[in-house]
Amino acid sequence: MKRFVLILMSLTLIIMSFTGCTIRIGDKGIKVGKTIEIGDTIVDNIQEPIGDTKELQLKLSAAIGDVNIIGGSNKLIEGEIKYNVKAWKPVIIIDEDNYKKKIEIKPPKTDDIHFGNDNVYTWNIQLNEQVPLDIIANIGIGKSNLNFSELNVQNIKVDTGVGDSNIILNGVYNSPIDIEIKGGLGNTDINLKGDFNENVTADIQGGLGDIDILLPKDIGVKVEVELGLGDIKVNGLKKVSEDNEKIYKNDLYDKSNVKIILKIEAGMGDIKLR
């Protein structure tokens, strides 16, 4: 219930964006005005060498803006963040403990949040494909394209507010993977067509929008679904439960040494499993 309240609040903020409003949050409450200064686009570059790092924990907190993640970097992390409000200069915190590096990227603490078509706030992040990765991505208002196909990802936590999400695991993975996705207002597309050599578990919570999941054909798959307000379409899986419990498996599930196990709690929207 609380999540739906937050989603509806976000929807209200989007409607306000058509007027180019600035919301100022302070001790005396919330005020709406047009006080924020929009300037030229600024580009902040991100570069961190691998060094002795054996494991990376990355946390991204993007209140507003689009977030894009890919692999293929020969550094630990590189990329750029573009923005056109000086007060939005991102904060980067780096901490290392016993060869495990923790990197957090977040917007600065500010009382002003501007909504409008003149906003520029884009996060383009490229990561190393060899270093084991745990990632936490908190995305407020904006689209996210998170491509983990070339990454040695082990734990994924994605929490979205308003905007469509595209999450791709279409590479080769030799470690177990644990996934947690909380959707907000927008569609969620998940590609799990990768070559998995260890088990994958995923807990997916929908919001207001459709969920579309692509599944592999060569390993065992089980999906437990709790439907909300919407329909479910299934291809390649068989229902193995009573009508009030929607559990699906493919023919390989009881034979396969490697399994994908999904738990889906839908909100308002359709689910496709294919």
Measured between alpha carbons, how far is 156 from 48 in angstroms, rounded to an integer? Answer: 21
Structure confidence at residue 24 (pLDDT): 45
Structure confidence at residue 37 (pLDDT): 76
Residue 135: closest CA among 109, 164, 104, 161: 104
Tell me the average confidence (pLDDT) per consecutive run of 10 residues in the chain, 274 residues long.
49 49 43 66 97 97 94 98 92 94 90 64 97 97 96 98 96 98 96 98 96 97 93 94 80 97 95 96
Residue linked to tokens 């056109």: 84
Find residue 136's DSSP bridge partners. 59, 157
Contact 107, 90 (CB under 8 A): yes
Measured between alpha carbons, how far is 169 from 256 in angstroms, rounded to an integer? Answer: 20
Burial class (CB in 10 A: 0-12, 13-18, 19+), 206: buried
CA 142 to each of CA 120, 121, 192: distance values in angstroms, whole numbers, following the listed order: 11, 9, 23
Domain total for the chain? 1
Measured between alpha carbons, how far is 12 from 94 in angstroms, rounded to an integer? Answer: 35
In our burial notation (b when 16+ CB lie closer than 10 A, e otherwise), range 31-58 reads eeeeebeeeeeeeeebebebeebeebbb
Residue 142: closest CA among 184, 174, 109: 184
Instruction: Give the contacts of 260 (CB within 8 A, at least 6 positions apart).
Output: 192, 196, 199, 200, 201, 202, 215, 216, 219, 220, 221, 222
Q: What is the CATH number of the domain that holds 171?
A: 2.160.20
Structure confidence at residue 56 (pLDDT): 98
User: φ, ψ for residue 17 (rounded to 5)?
Assistant: -65, -25
SS3 88: helix
Range of 259's domain? Answer: 2-273
CB atoms within 10 A of CB 79: 19
> Does pTM surpass 0.75?
yes
Find residue 166's DSSP bridge partners. 145, 189
